[in-house]
A and B are shown apart, each in its own frame.
Chain A
Amino acid sequence: MGEPGLKGTVTSLSSMFPVEEAEKAAKRVEEALEEKRKEKNRLNEFIADNTSLTNLVQKLPDELHHDIMVPFGKAAFFPGRLIHTNEFMVLLGEGYYAERTAKQTVEILKRREKSLESQVNSLKATMEDLKLEASFFDTTALEASEGLVEIREEYVEENSAETESGLVEQDSISFTETDNTKGAFENEEYACILSRLDELEKEEELAAENDREKSEDSFAEVDSKKVEAVDEKWARVMSRLDELEKEELTAQSDEEKDEDQQTDASESKSDEDEQTEVDFGRKNNADHNSRYQTLMHSESTKPPQQRKDKHTTLEGLSNKHQQPDLTNELNCTGLTVEPAPEDGRSISRNMPQKVETLNPSENSSVLPDRKVKFQVEDSSRKEAAVQTKKPGFDSSKAFTGSIVEHAQNLQVLQRQPGTSSQSLGPQPSKPISRFKMQRK
């Protein structure tokens, strides 16, 4: 875990965002929000007036004449009659009046109502943005006051051979543009992975052929068992993908700059998101056998390219781009990983019962249960794998798949739909749409 000779900086968040300034900014946003709220109230009043007027105008022509109290001067009334009940003088604006019937007047009023409502909607949109801003400022102010620190450490590659983590690190490094290469070790690892993938691919093909006759549901069940069975393989692949993603993100750190400021919780949230994304991808596995087969073929023929794709697509996951590719590739890897029975089963049996907490975030099916188990196990494994890498984690890549350290936070995060929805919000819908795209 601890690597000797690591250099790094510890910057307290309060130094980057002074507490008072953050609070002032929060107040400013609050005030702007207040103003917008007042505007909205005014507009709502207008809309109410408009509606009541429309009702009145519609009721007046019901009678030939109405008996009313007519205002006379500033402070007097006299009883009188309202005749010409179908003739209205409507103010069009700028001192212009038009004589209209009741129905025509109602039409004019309806048009005014529409424009009012569009104004209210635009106001609502701006208010939403302001609210987000306010919440961001509030959290930063809170964190700064609590003395949260931002730790940046240089990434120093580890040369341990036995652990998966070591393998993972070096394997991922080989696929980055900017990193220093680590030589022959990566090639070996790469060859190993390739061969394993090929084996799994073949097994998956056989299994898929057998299952093609069965219904989707049953396939899902069979699939899920296979999923459970090959957790270990999947975990390795996933962690590798995570590393790839991280490296890719360094190149795009600009976009992530804002997200840098968020806490570890948000990072682990993103990890969770990625896992749920993976989940969706795997769920899709169950639904489209033939497609996977073709994908796997392509995968076997072009492993390097696929690697790169996985790399980029995982990055896309965190950057919310290229998501169709992501599901594709993830499906590939998921499928190939599935048919390795021996290793996974024992591991899956040791799974803690964190399964239930992750369930709400997924659609109900047999598959998600297993997937969740696998995920948690995956995370725990990655935890072991990645803890050695933790010092290398760059906080500038907030939404990376490096995950894992917060396996126990997965429960907590699940119960914070408000915060997680911010990062998770757009994503659950997107996987579904991605499936649709794939189904085409």
Chain B
Amino acid sequence: MTSSSSSALRDIQRDLETKANDLSKIQKDIAKNHQVRKKYTIQLGENELVLKELDLLNEGANVYKLIGPVLVKQDLAEANANVRKRIEYISAELKRLDSTLQDLEEKQNSKKDAILKLQQRIQSLQAGKAKA
């Protein structure tokens, strides 16, 4: 009796460990997600600033783009279009990241609940064993 209950106890504990590992992985993913989101948000802000300045330029003002060590002359209209496309791309990325973040958080909560339940089972088993 006791051996079977103790083996059951060990099983539950192993289960608990695996679940705990999963939880920590999920939490790392959430942290990474936050970082990437921060980067994208900063880039978005910068791009919007650039767009504002470009709008203030008259026609015929020279715009250059730094590609590696090279400054390349660009057309004003082209630069405008590029910056706008980049802004759209970044916002789409941010939305995607938001949804991923939501999923991750849900998974994290469910894992936490599962771990809690396991812990309760362990406690009840141990209390039962102590009584016996």
Contacts and interface: CB of A to CB of B under 8 A. Distances in A.
Interface of A: 89, 92-100, 108, 115
Contact of A97 (B43, B65, B83): B65
Nearest to A107: B56
Contacts, number: 48
Nearest to B49: A93
A437 B53 CA distance: 46
Given A94-B86, A96-B54, 9 more contacts: A93-B46, A96-B63, A96-B65, A97-B63, A98-B57, A98-B61, A98-B62, A98-B64, A108-B53
B66 interface: yes
Contacts of A89: 64, 71
B71 A92 contact: no
A95 B65 CA distance: 6
Q: Which of A89, A98, A115 has the most CB of B within 10 A?
A: A98
6 contacts: A92-B53, A94-B47, A98-B54, A98-B57, A99-B61, A108-B53
Contact of B67 (A93, A95, A98, A115): A95
A99 B74 CA distance: 11
A97 B66 contact: yes
Contacts of A99: 61-64
Nearest to B48: A93
Q: When A and B form their complex, which 9 residue pairs have the shortest distance between CB atoms, in order from nearest?
A: A95-B66, A97-B64, A99-B62, A93-B50, A93-B46, A92-B53, A92-B50, A94-B50, A93-B49
A41 B53 CA distance: 27
B79 interface: yes
Contacts of A97: 63-66, 71
Contacts of B79: 96
Q: Which of B53, B64, B67, B79 has the most CB of A within 10 A?
A: B53
B99 to A, nearest CB: 26
Contacts of B50: 92-94, 96
Contact of A98 (B43, B46, B49, B53): B53
A119 B83 CA distance: 24
B54 A92 contact: yes
Nearest to B47: A94
A108 to B, nearest CB: 6
Interface string B78-98: 010001001000000000000
A115 B48 CA distance: 13
A115 B50 CA distance: 14
Interface string B9-51: 0000000000000000000000000000000000100110110
A74 to B, nearest CB: 15
Contacts of A98: 53-54, 57, 61-64
A92 B53 CA distance: 7
A95 B83 CA distance: 11
Contacts of A115: 49
Contacts of A95: 65-67
A99 B53 CA distance: 12
A96 B63 CA distance: 7
B78 to A, nearest CB: 11
A115 B61 CA distance: 24
A360 to B, nearest CB: 48
Nearest to A90: B53
Contacts of A96: 50, 54, 63-66, 74, 79, 83
A97 B65 CA distance: 6
Contact of B47 (A93, A100, A108): A93
B53 A94 contact: no
B83 A94 contact: yes
A99 B64 CA distance: 8
A100 B57 CA distance: 9
A274 to B, nearest CB: 48
A128 B114 CA distance: 42
Nearest to B46: A93
A116 to B, nearest CB: 12
Q: Which of A96, A108, A115 has the most CB of B within 10 A?
A: A96
Contact of A100 (B61, B67, B86): B61
A100 to B, nearest CB: 7
A108 B55 CA distance: 12
Nearest to A99: B62
Contacts of B47: 93-94
Contacts of A94: 43, 46-47, 50, 83, 86
A246 B86 CA distance: 61
A424 B14 CA distance: 61
Q: Which of B57, B61, B64 has the most CB of A within 10 A?
A: B64
A261 B8 CA distance: 51
B45 to A, nearest CB: 9
B73 to A, nearest CB: 9
